[in-house]
Structure 1
Amino acid sequence: MSPAAPRPSVLFVCVHNAGRSQMAAAFLTHLADDQVEVRSAGSAPADSVNPAAVAAMAEAGIDITAETPKILTTEAVQASDVVITMGCGDTCPVFPGKRYLDWQLDDPAGQGVDAVRPIRDEIEQRVRGLLAELGIPATA
């Protein structure tokens, strides 16, 4: 039996790590079925995950109630193959050899669940596209 190829690792970064990056990490975790190492962080993490993001993800059948915003660390960036920023601009450290993507998405902070649904759906489509680029079939 040949050794398994190392799993690619993806880091999602937004300012508060309370909405967009949490939803993206949850979708990738859900759709990749343990074939990708998933991290999320924020440059200025909030105290808790956005309740509208939690509600929108619950509608999609994904529970993120146990998630907590995490501070962005240099180590997290160095340990990731792909770094996807979502509105954090220049606060992300840049390292040679990493793949960086910037997803322009509306910020769900302060929005109700009706406003968060289209952001959630856009994130799901982008995550599915990322999986296709990585050559990993989505499991759902």
Structure 2
Amino acid sequence: MSRFDLTPLDLSTLAAARQTLADAESVNLLDGSAMARMIGRLEVAVKRLIEMVDETAGGNVVRCPAAHPEDPTPCDGPVVVTIIDTQNAGADGCEHHAARMLASITGARPVAKPDAPAGVAVRIFRAAHHTHPFPWLEGRS
């Protein structure tokens, strides 16, 4: 399947996402519960679109720069941090791969991106503390 071939299922997913976006334009911004419901609908629509793109790409999903080529695990979200080593070289990463990289590089540190959620660098630092170096190697988790 080429990346531009869409099945009927894909077209229905795309149509649902468009309808959700159209519905979002008419939500009363002062109605907290309506906003919460719409955010939930938008999250579901975006997740389905991402899954559709990933499937269309034939499993060749682009991962964050912090993901080691031998690490088979997928990203767990957007790039939120840069892992800086002792030479001040850095690699951007999702929380999952950043923690795995941090656990594997002595003296590295996480630096949150400006738009990252509060506390993300601390979460990554803590996760790295509980992660073996090079966890994708055989016999480690």
Q: Taking structure 2 as the reference length, what is the TM-score of the superposition?
A: 0.26
* Structure with more relative contact order (C-alpha pairs < 8 Å, separation 6 or more): 1
Q: Taking structure 1 as the reference length, what is the TM-score of the superposition?
A: 0.26
Q: Which has the higher helix share?
A: 2
Structure label with greater radius of gyration? 2
